[in-house]
Amino acid sequence: ARVDKGGYKHFMAKEIAEQPSVLKNTLSHYQNADASEVELPDHNIDLAHIDRLTMVACGTAFYAALTAKYWFEKIARVPVDVDVASEFRYREPPVSPGTCALFVSQSGETADTLAALRYMASQNATILSVVNVPESSIARESDLVLPLHAGVEIGVASTKAFTAQLAVLALLAIKIAYARGAIDAAQYRTHIAELNRLPGLISQALGIDGAVQDIAKKLATAQDIIFLGRGALYPLAMEGALKLKEISYIHAEGYPSGELKHGPIALIDKSVPVVVMAPMDPLFDKSVSNMQEVMARSGQVLLISCKQGLKTAAEGTWAQITMPTTPDLLAPIIYAIPAQLLAYHTALAKGTDADQPRNLAKSVTVE
Ligand code: G6P
């Protein structure tokens, strides 16, 4: 079927706005009727005995994998390695028996990711994949395919596929956590219920659109922008920076907040906006103290947090974006919305083409 922009200026805007219904659909494919079980497509993988997971991807899918590492390690207690496919494939990493390899790819056709998959298959690893295109090469060569059910994604910068990847990876993490006995039945159900709040929380988060338009006017004049996050928000800081550079052509870097003093703080002055993603999680106070170090050097902080977080820490910041209060598990998925909208509106303010950024392709099928 032909897909049109449905009244939006860009496919990217449409795909951002679609996320509540996309996630609802994705979640519905992965649970039973009373939301008491995560259900995966048929497979014969012994989830209780996944002792190590190797994740490989490129671009935005790589950041989805990096975010999922926090969930697999913290919730399921499974050690995870994550790598970009172009590095992984040539390193010839030794593979121990029983290794599970998980490939994340919207298109399912990215050449480096596919080559990494073939390498792992040649080493007898069990191959799992999270793809949006179920007929793709990566899907065909996997032992277990977890489709996103996100519908066709046209904007070059991935948005709805990213949040759907995170949702599927979170579902898999809690499924494996429960299978391994790392969480009990009550915690398992709680996490399923949390994930089912995603569509509602994402719609709420989308309400920031107007506020982001104003902020983007100033971001559009910057030469460099730094994104900071801690824990599962660190990969999201990198994803926010990637989106911004892809479509607005402004140099941006994502850093773990705690690493600020080991380099990037030297870049800070009043001309450098610093986007701080700080949900009220156990690391909130640490993020705030890193943010204060930025402000002490005249950095212009855009603080993204919930109402309570902003009430505690907004003093002295240049701008704020209010996010709904979220369970820790969902924070990196909800905070993807401001990352996407900041990039989109900054691109609009600069007059670049968000759907067709220069030099980039939707799917990189050659090396
Ligand atoms: C390209 C696209 C990105 C995408 C990446 C990986 O760089 O511009 O949006 O994240 O490829 O693509 P895949 O289809 O493997 O997720």
Q: How many Å lie between the centroid of ligand 1 and the Cα of residue 286?
A: 32
- Residues 124-138 have a mean pLDDT of 97
Residue 354: which of 6, 95, 7, 8 has the closest Cα? 8
**Sequence-distant (≥ 6) Cβ neighbours of residue 212 within 8 angstroms:** 321, 338, 341, 342, 345
Q: How many Å lie between the centroid of ligand 1 and the Cα of residue 106?
A: 7
Confirm whether 362 is a catalytic residue.
Answer: yes
pLDDT surpassing 70 at residue 328: yes
- Residues 173-184 have a mean pLDDT of 98
Residue with tokens 């309570």: 308
- Burial class of 29 by CB neighbour count within 10 A (0 to 12, 13 to 18, 19+): middle
Q: What pLDDT sits at residue 1?
A: 57
Task: Say if CB 355 and CB 155 are below 8 A apart.
Answer: yes
- Residues 239-258 have a mean pLDDT of 96
Instruction: Give the residue, by CA position, lying nearest to ligand 1 atom 8.
Output: 362
The minimum-distance atom of ligand 1 relative to the CA of 158 is 9
* Model confidence, pTM: 0.97
Give all strands (DSSP E) within the chain, no chain letters. 53-57, 80-84, 100-105, 126-131, 144-147, 224-229, 251-256, 273-277, 300-306, 319-323
The minimum-distance atom of ligand 1 relative to the CA of 157 is 9
The pick from 104, 110, 148 for probing ligand 1's pocket by mutation, whose C-beta has the most ligand atoms within 8 angstroms, reads: 110
The number of residues making up the chain comes to: 367
Q: Which protein residues are within 6 Å of ligand 1, measured from CB? A: 58-61, 105-107, 110, 113, 156-158, 360, 362-364
Q: What pLDDT sits at residue 3?
A: 82
Q: Binning pLDDT at 50, 70 and 90, where does residue 287 land?
A: very high
Percent of the chain with pLDDT over 70: 99
- Residues 123-129 have a mean pLDDT of 97
Residue 229: which of 346, 323, 354 has the closest Cα? 323
The minimum-distance atom of ligand 1 relative to the CA of 161 is 16
Task: Say if CB 350 and CB 220 are below 8 A apart.
Answer: yes
Q: What pLDDT sits at residue 359?
A: 86
| CB atoms closer than 10 angstroms to residue 223 | 9
- Residues 231-241 have a mean pLDDT of 98
- Residues 96-112 have a mean pLDDT of 95
Instruction: Report the mean per-residue pLDDT for the chain.
Output: 96
The rounded distance, in Å, linking the Cα atoms of 358 and 367 is: 18
Task: Say if CB 227 and CB 255 are below 8 A apart.
Answer: yes
The minimum-distance atom of ligand 1 relative to the CA of 131 is 16
Q: What pLDDT sits at residue 54?
A: 98
Task: Say if CB 304 and CB 276 are below 8 A apart.
Answer: yes
Residues 300-323: tens digit of each pLDDT:
999 999 999 999 999 999 999 999
Q: What pLDDT sits at residue 10?
A: 94
The pick from 362, 365, 366, 367 for probing ligand 1's pocket by mutation, whose C-beta has the most ligand atoms within 8 angstroms, reads: 362
- Residues 68-76 have a mean pLDDT of 98
Q: Binning pLDDT at 50, 70 and 90, where does residue 83 land?
A: very high
Q: How many Å lie between the centroid of ligand 1 and the Cα of residue 110?
A: 7
Instruction: Give the residue, by CA position, lying nearest to ligand 1 atom 7.
Output: 59
Which tokens belong to 153? Answer: 């994604």
